[in-house]
Amino acid sequence: MYFKMGELFCGPGGLACGALRSHSDDGKYGIKHAWANDYDADTCETYRKNICPKNPDSVYCGDVRKLDIKGLGEIDAFAYGFPCNSFSGVGEHKGIANEKFGQLYWYGVEVLRQYKPKWFIAENVSGIRSAGSNDFQVILKDLRESGYKLVVNLYKAEEYGVPQTRHRVIIVGIRNDLKTEFHVPDPAQYKDCDISAWTALARIPADAPNNEIRKLSDTVVRRLSYIKPGQNVWQAEDSMPEELRIKTKTKISQIYRKLDPNKPSYTITAAGGGGTFGYYWDNRELTNRERARIQTFPDDYEFVGDYSSVRKQIGMAVPCRLSEIVTTAVLNSFAGIEYPWVEPNLSE
C-alpha cells in the first residue's frame, strides 16, 4: 500500500526525497507523491525535476495564502516544514503574534482539517520552542484539535548518521481514530556511522551537477589561509594581519569557519552575507554539491537556479537521510513492526 503524500512549503524536496525512498521493513507500505506547494520558482522546478518529473503540474508554485486548498486532492499523508523565519535563532524570535511568516503554519492545519490524512510530519527549527510567549504550545494545540495524537521530538541529525550538526523539531501526528502508535526511532542504531566531513565529501563524481567552485577574492583566500580546519575567523585573529581581520561587534561563530574533516559539518544555512557560505578545510568555499552531500542528497539530485538560489534551496532543506529514517519509522508503525525506539525528549 502506498500513502499518497501532499506537501506544503516543500522546498527543493529534501523531505520528499527521503520519504519516497522509505518503506516498511516488510515492504507492505511506501509513499507516493500526490501534490506539493512552494512559493519560489527555482525551488519548485528543482522539486519537479527530481521528485515528480512525470507529473510537473502537481507542484503548485505560488503564495500558500492564495492556494486553493480544497482543490488539491485527497491524500493519506501530509508533510510540511512551515517557514522558520519567526523561530530561527538567527532571527528575532517574533513568533506568531508579530510576524506574518509565523502564521503560515495554519495552512497546514487547514489541510489536516480538509483531507484528514492518516498521518502527518511537521518540521521546524529548534528555536520554535522559545518563540513568542507560548507559540509552540499554540501550534501543538491546533494540531491536536485537528484530530491527531502527536509525538514531538528534537532530532539531532548527527545522531542519525547525517554528517552535520543540525537540530530540528519534528512533530509526527497519527489520526486519533487509528490504533497505530508512532515512536521516536532510537539514534543508538546509528552510533557507528561515519559522519565525518571527510567521508561525506569524498569521491564526488566529476560530472555531478551543481559542483562548480566559486572564485573568491584574493583577500578572502589570504584570510582563509590563516584559519585552521575547524576554526573560524575569530579564533585565527592573533596570527592574522590587521588588514585581514573582521571588525564587527557581533562575533557569529560561523564567520569564515572551515570544516573539520574529522567531525560532522556545522549547520548548512540558506542565506547570509560574507563569511557565512561554509568553507572547506582548504582555502575555498564549499560547492553547492558539497553542501548537498552534507544534507545527504544523492549525487544525481540536480538543483535548478543560479548559485545563490541553489545555496538557499539546499540550506532550507530537511536532510534526506533524517526524513527517510523518520518516515520509515512511521511506515513500520502502520505495519505493526517493532523497531528500536526511545521516549520523545519534548512534551506536548
Question: Tens digits of per-residue pLDDT, 293-331?
Answer: 999 999 999 999 999 999 999 999 999 999 999 999 999
Bridge partner list, 123: 170
Q: How far is CA 17 from the centre of its chain?
A: 11
C-alpha cell at 280: 572547506
Q: What amino acid occupies position 78?
A: F
pLDDT at 207 over 70: yes
Bridge partner list, 80: 8, 122
**pLDDT, position 232:** 94
Burial of 245 (0-12, 13-18, 19+ CB in 10 A): middle
User: Helix and strand tally (H, E) in the chain?
Assistant: 10, 9
The whole-chain average pLDDT of the chain stands at 92
pLDDT at 131 over 90: no
HEC string of 210-244 equals: CCCCCCCCHHHHHHHHCCCCCCCCHHHHHHCCHHH
Please answer whether residues 325 and 168 qualify as being in contact, where contact means their C-beta atoms are separated by less than 8 angstroms. no
Q: What is the pLDDT of residues 108-130, one digit of tens each?
A: 999 999 999 999 999 997 777 76
Q: What is the pLDDT of residues 278-300, one digit of tens each?
A: 999 999 999 999 999 999 999 99
d(Cα 234, Cα 39) in Å, to the nearest integer?
37
Task: Name the pTM for this structure.
Answer: 0.93
C-alpha cell at 319: 536532510
Average pLDDT over residues 166-185: 97
**pLDDT, position 100:** 45
The dihedrals phi and psi of 8, each to the nearest 5 degrees, come to -105, 150
Q: What is the pLDDT of residues 235-250, one digit of tens each?
A: 999 999 999 999 887 7
**pLDDT, position 127:** 76
Domains of the chain, start order = 2-192+319-342 (3.40.50.150)
Catalytic residue ranges:
84
Please, what is the angle between helix 14-21 and helix 320-335, to 10°?
40
d(Cα 76, Cα 116) in Å, to the nearest integer?
8
- Close Cβ partners of 101 (under 8 Å, ≥ 6 residues apart): 83, 85, 86
**pLDDT, position 249:** 76
d(Cα 11, Cα 294) in Å, to the nearest integer?
17
Say which range, 8-12, 15-19, 82-86, 255-259, has the weakest mean pLDDT. 82-86
- Close Cβ partners of 313 (under 8 Å, ≥ 6 residues apart): 11, 12, 40, 42, 43, 46, 270, 303, 305
